């Protein structure tokens, strides 16, 4: 909200500079985001919390300044003749939906003259970010900005039979609003109607049939209180947000309705030369009872962490116009003003005391929070994962922690625990807490594809939520999700372009595991997750069977909805025992030449390289050794279902050179182990 400093000082004459005033509002929870000069005035851009609708007008902000600096507030005057008077014989007001409209007041000002507003009114509106229209429209905006209570002006001549009916809209009823849009209403919406048709959308926007025009002479003034939930619902369904709906949907002060009428009458008389008809027709079928709360001084200390003196507590409540008085058992009883819709319980009063005495008084001490059940993640693991993936050319995504119903089921693997539903989801597509990060990355990749971006490299670090039982907190392991499509390597003039494949992703996952010191004791196996391609996916498991990572191509059924092939991976940062952080160790460069030998074996489809490597590693070597696949051949003369796999072993002696006998003996031992344990045929 934009507020005028000059306007605030007219309501609360604070002799402080603008920066001091801005700091005072910020310290009380009304953050001033910016201060801009506006001629002889200053515009304060203030962030008003949703639970403080009383501060959506200059009067509410002035109350806060009055409390902060101890300066008397200049309250706007109410109506001189609050009764119905002559207006009762000219107007008829009927509230047919009292559950949606608690109060409706109407008055008349005759013989107004439409024209431009005077300079002071124009300056105030422009300082507050509103464009001046004419003196009548500007008067309604000035009332809203001062009191925070929106009002509406009707052309009295266009209100049939001078009758106001506050009723629910009829099913399918049509209303053309002031923006020129013809809108279809439903029975959940509240309208202001005359004897025949709807004239305005209550609390949101007026209707074109009764709007103020150049020929208007007599004005009907509306000031009302509408149920906030009803205004919110109507505004959302019609996708129609206005300054009035913003305030009504949060809750205006029902006891300021007549004050709004009085201010509107005074401004119309001053700006448009009108002549008010005596009296105000005030339909107030069920005034709410006065509210009161009790505060235990000891509760202030318990919740804040420090105990203000009794005089400080009472002084804070008095400054905030809560009228404290002694209650039973040493309690303080307060009267809750009608404009403070946010004060509902004792804890709210404690917050008010804290706001007034200053949050800086709260000591910086540990609150002794209980330990959570979330699995331990090694310190720095998340940042190391982000650092590595960013250096690999991936961009971090920030997705929702919610997914649609069963959207993440294909990626949960053997974990069949149901997703945790939200009590009041904002959309059906965000109804459950996620059990996997991958669905959000699939949506992000799809969005990029549809925007013409084929090469997608995304990752996300976040928590998933796994149910543990009724009444218990869920497990919340931290995982890294990866989505990759398009090019498998950065473009280079000397290299051919190629698409990303499964092996690129496997290499990236294992590089990430090595960076996180989580690659010890893992076995890599073919994957069987329903969300992945059945022949292009793998999982990594610990010795106890715990799955710590999975990756693969997206399942063909899901892939059919995407424009480009997509590969996915998910790595659990906290699965299994907590790994130790590796400290880099110095290792001298080899002084001796490495020895390489190739070993070709005939393998069938059911024998993996990881199994071959496991067998070869079990054979004692005369020097440190490394194994890798050098070649794979399919075709004649080999029968179908068999392949020739060439494994290159590299021996790196570090103390003495190896003899031919040692090398040949080691190779023969490898051949014997492969024949005995895997029954493989050796080609050479």
Distance CA 566, CA 551 (A): 11
Contact 459, 471 (CB under 8 A): no
pLDDT at 64 over 50: yes
More confident of the two residues 80 and 663: 663
CB contact set of 538 (below 8 Å; sequence gap of 6+): 502, 506, 524, 525, 526, 527, 550, 551, 552
- The pLDDT value recorded for residue 490 is 83
pLDDT at 100 over 70: yes
User: Residues 516, 416: one domain?
Assistant: yes
Distance CA 126, CA 133 (A): 11
User: Residues 553, 633: one domain?
Assistant: no
- The pLDDT value recorded for residue 636 is 84
Distance CA 503, CA 495 (A): 18
CATH assignment of the domain containing 104: 3.50.40.10
* Each residue's pLDDT tens digit, 150-185: 999 999 999 999 999 999 999 999 999 999 999 999
Any domain includes 38: yes
- The pLDDT value recorded for residue 577 is 45
Any domain includes 77: no
User: Residues 256, 295: one domain?
Assistant: no
CA dihedral 332→333→335→341, nearest 10 degrees, is: 80
**Which residue among 238, 266, 283 closes a domain?**
283
Any domain includes 78: no
Q: What's the total number of domains in the chain?
A: 5
User: Residues 147, 240: one domain?
Assistant: yes
**Looking up tokens 């109506």, which residue turns up?**
79
**Which residue among 540, 572, 604 closes a domain?**
572
- The pLDDT value recorded for residue 415 is 65
Backbone φ, ψ for residue 353 (5° rounding): -60, -45
CA dihedral 176→180→182→183, nearest 10 degrees, is: -80
User: Residues 487, 538: one domain?
Assistant: yes
User: pLDDT above 90 covers what percent of the chain?
Assistant: 64
User: Residues 300, 402: one domain?
Assistant: no
* Each residue's pLDDT tens digit, 214-261: 999 999 999 999 999 999 999 999 999 999 999 999 999 999 999 999
CA 324, 328, 331: angle at the middle one, nearest 5? 50
Any domain includes 156: yes
**Mean pLDDT, the chain, integer:** 90
Structure tokens at 89: 């014989």
pLDDT at 375 over 70: no
Distance CA 321, CA 253 (A): 15
**Which residue among 305, 331, 361 closes a domain?**
361
- The pLDDT value recorded for residue 422 is 87
Grade residue 608 by pLDDT with cuts at 50, 70 and 90: confident
Any domain includes 172: yes
Distance CA 45, CA 23 (A): 12
Q: E strands along 230-369, which residues?
A: 275-276, 281-283, 291-295, 325-326, 332-336
pLDDT at 587 over 80: no
Residue 1 CA, chain-centre distance (Å), reads: 21
User: Residues 443, 519: one domain?
Assistant: yes
User: Residues 305, 355: one domain?
Assistant: yes
Structure tokens at 60: 């509410």
Contact 536, 504 (CB under 8 A): no
Beta bridge partners of 487: 499
Beta bridge partners of 480: 461, 571
Q: E strands along 473-531, which residues?
A: 478-485, 523-526
pLDDT at 637 over 90: no
Domain extent at residue 333: 291-361
What average pLDDT does range 295-313 have in this prediction?
92
Distance CA 532, CA 529 (A): 6
What average pLDDT does range 301-328 have in this prediction?
92
pLDDT at 373 over 60: no
User: Residues 277, 298: one domain?
Assistant: no
Contact 532, 543 (CB under 8 A): no
User: Residues 350, 404: one domain?
Assistant: no
What average pLDDT does range 513-542 have in this prediction?
84
What average pLDDT does range 625-649 have in this prediction?
87
What average pLDDT does range 556-568 have in this prediction?
93
Q: What's the predicted TM-score (pTM) here? A: 0.59
End-to-end CA distance of the chain: 81
User: Residues 330, 187: one domain?
Assistant: no
């Amino acid at each position: 909200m934009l507020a005028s400093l000059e306007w605030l000082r007219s309501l609360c004459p604070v002799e402080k500079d603008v920066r001091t005033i801005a700091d005072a509002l910020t310290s009380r929870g009304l953050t001033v985001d910016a201060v801009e000069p506006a001629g002889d005035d200053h515009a304060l851009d203030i962030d008003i919390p949703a639970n403080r609708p009383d501060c959506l007008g200059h009067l509410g902000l002035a109350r806060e300044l009055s409390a902060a600096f101890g300066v008397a507030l200049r309250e706007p005057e109410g109506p001189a003749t609050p009764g119905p008077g002559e207006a009762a014989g000219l107007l008829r007001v009927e509230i047919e939906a009292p559950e949606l409209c608690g109060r409706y007041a109407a008055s008349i000002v005759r013989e107004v003259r439409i024209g431009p507003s005077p300079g002071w009114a124009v300056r105030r509106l422009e300082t507050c970010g509103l464009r001046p229209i004419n003196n009548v429209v500007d008067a309604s905006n000035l009332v809203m900005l001062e009191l925070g209570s929106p009002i509406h002006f009707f052309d009295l001549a266009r209100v049939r039979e001078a009758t106001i009916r506050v009723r629910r809209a009829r099913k399918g009823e049509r209303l053309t609003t002031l923006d020129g849009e013809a809108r279809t209403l439903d029975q959940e919406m509240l309208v202001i109607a005359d004897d025949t048709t709807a004239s305005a959308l209550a609390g949101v926007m007026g209707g074109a049939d009764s709007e103020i025009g150049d020929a208007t002479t007599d004005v009907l003034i509306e000031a009302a209180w509408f149920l906030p939930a009803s205004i919110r619902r109507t505004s959302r369904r019609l996708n129609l947000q206005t300054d009035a709906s913003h305030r009504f949907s949060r809750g205006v002060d029902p006891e300021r309705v007549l004050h709004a009428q009085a201010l509107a009458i005074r401004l119309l008389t001053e700006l448009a030369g009108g002549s008010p008809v005596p009296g105000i027709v005030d339909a107030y079928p069920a005034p709410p009872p006065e509210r009161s709360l009790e505060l235990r001084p000891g509760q202030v200390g318990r919740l804040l962490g420090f105990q203000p003196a009794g005089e400080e507590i009472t002084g804070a409540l008095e400054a905030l116009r809560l009228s404290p008085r002694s209650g039973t058992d040493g309690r303080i009883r307060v009267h809750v003003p009608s404009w403070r819709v946010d004060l509902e319980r004792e804890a709210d009063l404690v917050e008010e005391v804290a706001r007034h005495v200053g949050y800086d008084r709260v000591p910086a001490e540990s609150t002794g929070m209980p330990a959570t059940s979330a699995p331990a993640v090694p310190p720095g693991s998340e940042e190391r994962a982000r650092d590595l993936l960013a250096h690999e050319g991936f961009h971090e995504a920030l997705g929702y922690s919610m997914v649609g119903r069963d959207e993440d089921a294909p990626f949960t693997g053997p974990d069949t625990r149901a997703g945790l539903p939200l009590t009041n989801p904002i959309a059906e597509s965000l109804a459950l807490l996620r059990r996997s990060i991958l669905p959000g990355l699939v949506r992000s990749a799809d969005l990029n594809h549809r925007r013409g971006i084929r090469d997608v490299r995304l990752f996300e670090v976040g928590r998933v939520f796994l149910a543990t039982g009724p009444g218990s907190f869920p497990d919340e392991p931290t995982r890294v999700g990866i989505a990759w499509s398009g090019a498998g390597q950065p473009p280079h003039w000397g290299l051919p372009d190629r698409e990303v494949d499964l092996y690129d992703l496997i290499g990236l996952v294992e590089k990430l595991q090595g960076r996180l010191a989580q690659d010890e004791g893992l076995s890599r196996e073919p994957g069987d997750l329903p969300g992945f391609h059945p022949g292009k996916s793998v999982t990594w498991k610990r010795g106890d069977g715990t799955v710590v990572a999975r990756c693969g191509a997206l399942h063909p059924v899901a892939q059919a909805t995407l424009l480009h092939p997509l590969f996915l991976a998910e790595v659990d940062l906290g699965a299994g025992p907590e790994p130790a952080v590796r400290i880099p160790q110095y290792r001298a460069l080899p002084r001796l030449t490495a020895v390489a030998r190739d070993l070709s074996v005939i393998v069938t489809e059911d024998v993996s390289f990881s199994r071959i490597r496991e067998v070869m590693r079990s054979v004692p070597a005369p020097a440190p050794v490394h194994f890798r696949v050098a070649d794979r051949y399919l075709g004649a003369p080999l029968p179908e279902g068999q392949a020739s796999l060439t494994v290159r072993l590299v021996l790196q002696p570090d103390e003495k050179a190896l003899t031919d006998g040692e090398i040949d003996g080691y190779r023969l031992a490898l051949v014997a182990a492969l024949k005995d344990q895997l029954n493989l045929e050796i080609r050479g």
